[in-house]
Amino acid sequence: MNDGYSIGIVGATGAVGRELIHLLYEREFPIVNLKLLASARSKGKTITYKEHSWTVGEATPEAFDGLDIVLFSAGAGITKELGPEAARRGCVVVDNSSAFRMEPDVPLIIPEINPEAGAEHKGIIANPNCSTIVALMAIYPLHQLFGLKRFIASTYQAVSGTGAAAITELDNQVKAIMNNEPVVAEVYPHQIAFNVLPHVDVFLENGYTREEMKMQNEGRKIMGLPNMKVSCTCVRVPVYRAHSVSIQAEFEKPVDVAAAKAAIDSFPGSELCDDVENDHYPTPIDYSGKVNCGVGRIRKDTALDNGLSLWVSGDQLWKGAALNAVQIAELLHERGWVGSSVA
């Protein structure tokens, strides 16, 4: 097992990039060198974390020389261009974008669910979509118990999933409404303050958005269920941080609520938050900046045979993005998979 690694972060100046820095140090990942990279326009910026300070470099192929693991959080276009370059130079790439998720030879990993997939990496490992991760952290332990057939989901996705500009837009719109001033919508097609938008990502020919189809396509790959059916509606809500998902799932075996709760409570990365008599259930505020996803409102579904309805909240900047990527890096370290197989 390696005692320390040279780590690169591409997209270090973004929201997820900064969370990556925080989590690498807070979780005491073995780092001998950390190189922060971004676009040419961010080159030369200074980023500090506690007693550490870095000058941001430009993400170029040559910048990956000598690095062991590179965490990408810079969009699919940048990753498609630079990810294979990093792998060819001996790095293991952990990518937070959609660039390689559905490529058959690229593992798509949630460490609590399919860690063994990492053994097959060829230099690139994909991080799943944020809402997919949050949903599967609730669904997978129930699948282990009852055998999943299909599920229906509605998401409640925070604006931070869009980026810093969306957070600013929500702030500005709330202030404008409070001051009886005109509301300006630039990031989203409609006002997001005091509103919800059933529109996340682009619409496809089948009427679903690309974000909605990720729930089915990525879920099938991660869980090893190629025929699993999913219907999803993704909704942007005026919440700053942490996604929530309402789920109705149908299983092969008869379901039991007490057993379902016990399965959730014992599953690593998830925690039971389900005491409706005392108004105890997961909310985005309570699960912002938390490692675990909270699962509650577990009950027998009244429309599905062998069905359960439930609610899950999880921090999309952490478990939905940066934390899952760091956990993949930890997996690479623990299993000795760094440099074991590169493209």
Q: Among this protein's residues, is 199 annotated catalytic? A: no
Instruction: Indicate the residue type of 80.
Output: K
Q: Among this protein's residues, is 232 annotated catalytic? A: no
Instruction: Indicate the residue type of 197.
Output: L
Pull the structure tokens for residue 343. Answer: 């493209």
Provide the residue ranges of all domains of the chain, joining segments of one domain with +: 5-127+321-335, 131-316
The Cα–Cα gap between 86 and 103 comes to 17
Q: Which of 91, 121, 130, 293 is catalytic?
A: 130
pLDDT value of position 339: 64
pLDDT tens digits, 23-80: 999 999 999 999 999 999 999 999 999 999 999 999 999 999 999 999 999 989 999 9
Q: Where does the pLDDT of residue 341 fall: very low under 50, low under 70, confident under 90, or very high at 90 and above?
A: very low
Q: Where does the pLDDT of residue 2 fall: very low under 50, low under 70, confident under 90, or very high at 90 and above?
A: confident
pLDDT (average), residues 217-241: 98
5-127+321-335: CATH topology: Rossmann fold (3.40.50)
Residue range 131-316, CATH number: 3.30.360.10
What pairing do the DSSP bridges indicate for beta strands 270-272 and 307-314?
unpaired
Rounded to two decimals, the pTM is 0.95
The Cα–Cα gap between 152 and 144 comes to 18
Query: In terms of C-beta distances under 8 Å and separation of at least 24 residues, what long-range contacts does 28-32 make, across chains too?
Result: 29/5, 29/326, 29/329, 29/330, 29/333, 30/2, 30/3, 30/4, 30/5, 30/333, 31/4, 31/5, 31/6, 31/7, 32/4, 32/5, 32/6
Q: Which of 22, 121, 143, 243 is catalytic?
A: 243
pLDDT (average), residues 73-96: 96
pLDDT (average), residues 119-134: 96
CATH topology match: 5-127+321-335 vs 131-316: no
pLDDT tens digits, 273-303: 999 999 999 999 999 999 999 999 999 999 9
Flag whether pLDDT at 340 surpasses 60: no
* Percent over 90 (pLDDT), the chain: 96
